[in-house]
Chains A and B, each alone.
Chain A
Amino acid sequence: MSLTREDVEKVSLLARLKLTDDELGLMTIQLGQIVGYVAQLNELDTEEIEPMAHAVEVTNVFRPDELRESLPREAALANAPKADGECYLVPAVLGE
């Protein structure tokens, strides 16, 4: 199945990327090539095969439910492009 420019544009919104016209064109070709290459996996019958999400399948790793110090707010906000000392700040989306 081939990828269209419209598909790529839609994915760019899902991926939260703003692509230029040139990038959309190039990405359509390149993603198409890669997806075409990946299609060889269909040569294999995997009907009865359990998917393997992890190499070491450990489950339910718990730690004791104890209070511990967490990152101080100041440190957590230190790398934010915009903050007011208590919260991260973002462009307004409500009440426009």
Chain B
Amino acid sequence: MAAEFANLIVSPCSRFVVQGTDTMALVDLSATELLRELNGGQATSVEVTQAFLDQIKARDDKVQAFLRYDEQAALAQAADVDRRRKADQAVGRLGGLPVAVKDLLCMQGELATCGSRILERFRPPYDSTVVARLRAADAVFLGRTNMDEFAMGGSNENSAFHVTRNPWDLTRIPGGSSGGAAACVAASMAPLSIGSDTGGSIRQPAALCGVTGLKPTYGRVSRYGLVAFASSLDQVGPLARTAEDTALMLEVIAGHDPRDSTSIDTDAPPYTQTVAEPLAGLRLGLVREHFGPGLDAEVEAAVREVIRVYESLGARVREISMPHGKYGVATYYVIAPCEASSNLARYDGVHYGYRTDEAALHEELAQEHKQLVAAGRAAEAEDLDNALVRMYRRSRAEGFGAEVKRRIMLGTYALSAGYYDAYYLKALKVRRLIRQDYDDAFEQVDLIAGPVMATPAYKIGEKANDPLAMYLVDLYTVSANLAGVGGIAFPCGFSKGGLPIGLQLQAPPFQEERLLRAAYMFQQATDWHTRRPPL
């Protein structure tokens, strides 16, 4: 009866639902609230999905968070959930909630470009475990989000297709590499989103776009079917509006997967059941080295204000030292490119992806040969690439963008004969020192609090020609990946210019529950996470 009545008062354009006396757009509700509407029969998945699709159509020309979406497929999926719910059949945990997926998770038969020309037409033959779990939980796949090519970058400027814009200021970067994933949630084009984080790629765009994003502990979420960038650092994780929504999403995707030998063989706790429990006697650590030169004054002020909020909630705060953190970026930019150069060797123009034009390739080789012989350098002509090697080299040169080439070159150099000990092995040793800093810190505190990025979002193009400057912004995020610990980012203030500022909390391995509960406590006490950009 209640359900029928609710159907009557849903407006014909399907965008509004009457809640008591308030008329609230569906797209303004959190995922948790939407799920309540769905399960209570006040809204259908088709209505919710249509509302977000309408929002994408209205806003994504400006934001460009999505690479593609399939309206009919999403609505068909939603209708199927509605049908089952109506027939009192089993409905999964996400109950028809729309989810946006970063374009590097395999979904059977659907394009997965990784933001790269080399995979422009790649259709994976199987589902990644995360996608399979979302499917089993009855998520509705809304569309695929933009990213820096192969997740290499922190601005989305490295996408081969287009640059996603920050919904708070369309002239600025959304952060990256999960820039589309964060921007679509910030712009209310999706209630839930999936990203990946190799050196900050969930936390940094979450902070810059003013949403909540969690990088799980390494091993918490399966990497099976995640297109690999740096295998010892990559983790898949959720982006959402609130800690509660993030808990819901993590609950669905976390857990052991026999197909990923690095996934940990323990059950993930039911995060949504505990997220609202405050942490009594919480011990927060502030890292002395995080507050040095380079940290924007407004960001520092916002972070220090967070500390006061937590203190008012009963937390005890102490200063700690993590002396090796300053080597994080240098360590990361050895290890990640080394792993990337190896992982990306598979894009060879043979198995999948782009291949160079073969006639042009043979023509090029013939020309080079002729020129060398004519110049009296016949011996060098014999050393020219053979056709297969040249096919690899041309396919990769044409298929990869500048940043990906730079990292492949860096990794290949660092791993090449004579340099392995000086770079890769050295970096692995410093990595252990960074991990030891964390172990020492967590002897004294329960969570580490600090900035996500030293500044709010910068202008598109500002750092585009300076790769080293681009790498240095990863200072506060890479260490969590190197050490394998979890971290969460959420909004904790705004700059005078109206740009979101994010806070990062980091926890000991497999303490995502603590991260979520602490974020929830903060979000109950403040309303930064409820602000939406004026689009």
Contact = CB atoms under 8 A, between A and B. Distances in A.
Nearest to B345: A16
B409 A40 contact: no
B484 A56 contact: yes
A67 interface: no
A56 B219 contact: yes
B353 interface: yes
Contacts, number: 177
A18 B408 CA distance: 12
B325 to A, nearest CB: 13
B514 interface: no
Contact of A79 (B351, B388, B433, B485): B351
B387 interface: yes
Interface string B306-350: 000000000000000000100101110110000001000100111
Interface residues of B, number: 76
Interface string A43-61: 0101001111111101001
B496 interface: no
B413 interface: yes
Interface in A7-43: 7-8, 11-19, 23, 27, 30-31, 33-35, 37-38, 40-42
Contacts of B519: none
A96 B354 CA distance: 25
Interface in B449-491: 467-468, 471, 481-485
Interface stretch (B57-65, B371-379, B391-399): B391-399
Given A11-B412, A41-B331, A81 B350 contact: yes
A37 B471 CA distance: 11
Nearest to B426: A41
A81 B353 contact: yes
Contacts of A88: 350-351
A78 to B, nearest CB: 6
A41 B330 contact: yes
A15 B341 contact: yes
A30 B428 CA distance: 23
Nearest to A1: B422
Interface string B412-424: 1100100000010
B291 interface: no
Interface in A50-88: 50-56, 58, 61, 63, 71, 75-76, 78-82, 88
Given A23-B402, A30-B468, A38-B333, 9 more contacts: A17-B393, A38-B423, A41-B430, A49-B432, A50-B429, A52-B435, A58-B262, A75-B125, A93-B386
Interface of A: 3, 7-8, 11-19, 23, 27, 30-31, 33-35, 37-38, 40-42, 44, 46, 49-56, 58, 61, 63, 71, 75-76, 78-82, 88, 90-93, 96
18 contacts: A11-B413, A13-B389, A16-B392, A17-B397, A17-B405, A17-B408, A18-B397, A34-B467, A34-B468, A34-B471, A44-B433, A51-B429, A51-B431, A55-B218, A56-B509, A79-B121, A79-B125, A92-B387
